[in-house]
């Protein structure tokens, strides 16, 4: 059954914003979150968690970006979250440095 045309994105630029926010922005948030976790906890545990939970989080953020109505709003949200995570990474201390 084909999709209802009124629910599809009409602008190619808007579609590009949604897809790029989901792919790139979702990846930035996923990596930023796991680096922030690595700064505060044991890095070995975080790397094991990143293999599985990272993909699930990235796929979830991709779906959220595609569901959003406006691509620029989701980009602003993802960039704000990423900047917050960068601040946490910058102010964090390494609990267990790599030996």
Tens digit of pLDDT for each residue in 67-91? 998 999 999 999 999 999 999 888 8
At residue 32, the pLDDT reads 93
pTM for the whole thing?
0.82
Long-range contacts of 36-39 (CB under 8 A, 24+ apart): 36/85, 36/88, 36/89, 36/92, 39/88, 39/89, 39/92, 39/93, 39/94, 39/95
Lowest-confidence pick of 3-12, 24-33, 70-79: 3-12
At residue 5, the pLDDT reads 76
Q: Is the pLDDT of residue 93 over 70?
A: no
Which of the two residues, 9 and 15, has the higher pLDDT score? 15
């Amino acid at each position: 059954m084909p999709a209802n045309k009124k629910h599809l994105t009409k602008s190619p630029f808007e579609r590009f914003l949604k897809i790029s926010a989901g792919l790139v922005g979702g990846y930035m948030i996923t990596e930023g979150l796991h680096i922030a976790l690595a700064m505060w906890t044991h890095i070995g545990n975080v790397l094991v968690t990143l293999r599985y939970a990272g993909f699930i989080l990235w796929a979830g953020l991709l779906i959220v970006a595609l569901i959003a109505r406006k691509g620029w709003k989701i980009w602003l949200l993802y960039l704000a979250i990423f900047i917050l995570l960068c601040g946490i990474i910058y102010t964090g201390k390494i609990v267990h440095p790599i030996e």
